[in-house]
Structure 1
Amino acid sequence: MPRKLRITLAKRGVSCLAELLEKEAPRTCDAVWAALPQAGDAQHAKYARNEVYTMVPRFAEQEVGLENPTVTPIPGDVVYFSFPGGMLDEEFKQDKGVAGLPGVIDLAIFYGRNNLLLNGDVGWVPGNVYATITEGLDVMAQACHDVWRSGSVGERLVYERHSEA
């Protein structure tokens, strides 16, 4: 039976289910699964387009590296990014509450089309696609769009194991 995540926008009370892509991204799936639950302040991307994410402290004993990477995520992609401390702008890190960390993990969901992971400061930013949303993408997309329109203040993005029992 495939392992699944429940991903929730807590303030909005909206969840979706995502199936891990264990054949395509086994190291990333194992690292994320072992570290669950994970949660943090939800943010909406400025440049990548249709992305909601949270940043959390690094949790893997050894960095997983790139696997199943993309710079053009599609709706329903669940993506893992690892950023070393020096890669992110200091003001950005302070705003996100991760300024003192040696690096961070960005856990993201993509809910719409035409995404491009290109940062004007550093260039292409590939991420590991490690899961795909299989249930609830439509309602999650509406809630994510509301994060864009209404703001992310007070919103939390929560990742946890889903059990079908």
Structure 2
Amino acid sequence: MSDRFITITLHKRGVSARARLLDDEAPRTAEAIWAALPLGDQVFHGKFARNEIYTLTPAFAEVEPGPENTTVTPIPGDLCYFTFDGILDNPAYGYEMDSAPAQHRLLIDLAVFYGRNNLLVNGDVGWVPGNVFGTIVDGLDEFAAACNDIWMGGARGEKLTFSRADE
């Protein structure tokens, strides 16, 4: 199989990065995402993991991929897939419970890690390993600057999307 590429975009900030799917390392996750593209919605900045932005979507895979190529210490440019079953409905997380993603019991978190020193641990549930399904190969510096602006300037009104890269 030849390499497959996706584009990750922050729309309001007008920035995109190109990533290669890790078909050899995470074949089930990469295929589930590829089949469901485009994906995305409101962006959020990580509270616990540090240098992370993400979007939440209802489950989209016919069969959940399960753990593969997991990490709790993602590096800059890693794209991770997380499955959450009901734990995000705690009001302490700050999600609006009447929003579209929060109404679904099974949520998928598609995350982009843009800096170093990330640690995927949550005070309520402990370690939260994610499936590393892709890596940014072009545009990380500009994308990271936009991610940092989300941290400092706010996420309201910003949309994070994942789509197939132009062939």
Helix, strand or coil at the partner of 1:79: strand
Deviations 1:43-81, CA, capped at 9 Å, x for gaps: 000110000000001001111100000000000000000
> Which residue of structure 2 lines up, in the alignment, with residue 24 of structure 1?
25
Query: Which residue identity lines up with residue 90 of structure 1 in the other structure?
Result: N
Structure 1, residues 98-142: CA drift from partner, whole Å, max 9, x if none? 332121000000000000000000000000000000000000000
Q: Distance in 2 between matches of 1:29 and 1:41?
A: 22
Match in the other structure for 2:56: 55
> Superposition RMSD on alpha carbons, in Å?
1.2
CA distance in 1, matches of 2:6, 2:17: 8
**Alpha-carbon distance, 1:94 to partner:** 4.2
**Taking structure 2 as the reference length, what is the TM-score of the superposition?**
0.94
Secondary structure of the 2:30 match is helix
Q: Distance in 1 between matches of 2:151 and 2:94?
A: 20
Shift of 1:93: 7.1
Tell whether the 8 Å contact from 2:58 to 2:106 is kept in structure 1 after alignment: yes
Which ranges in structure 2 are unaligned for 5 or more consecutive residues?
A: none
Q: Which residue pairs with 1:144 in the alignment?
A: 147
SS of 2:53's partner is: strand
- What are the equivalent positions in structure 2 for 1:57-72 lying under 5 Å apart? 57-72=58-73
* Residue-pair matches, total: 163
Distance 2:108 2:94 in 1: 12
- In the alignment, is residue 159 of structure 1 matched against residue 162 of structure 2? yes
* Equivalent residue, structure 1, for 2:138: 135
- Gapped regions of structure 1 (runs ≥ 5): none
TM-score under structure 1 length normalisation: 0.95
Indicate if the aligned counterparts of 1:93 and 1:99 stay in contact, CA closer than 8 A: no
Residue 2 of structure 1 is matched in structure 2 by 3
Identity of aligned residues (%): 57
Q: 2: CA distance between counterparts of 1:94 and 1:51? A: 17
- What corresponds to 1:90 in structure 2? 90
Counterpart AA for 2:27: P
Residue identity in the other structure for 1:118: V
Query: Aligned letter for 1:19?
Result: R
Once residues 110 and 94 of structure 2 are traced to their aligned partners in structure 1, the CA distance between those partners, rounded to angstroms, is 15
CA contact (8 A) 1:48 1:115 kept: yes
Report the Cα offset of residue 163 of structure 1. Answer: 2.3
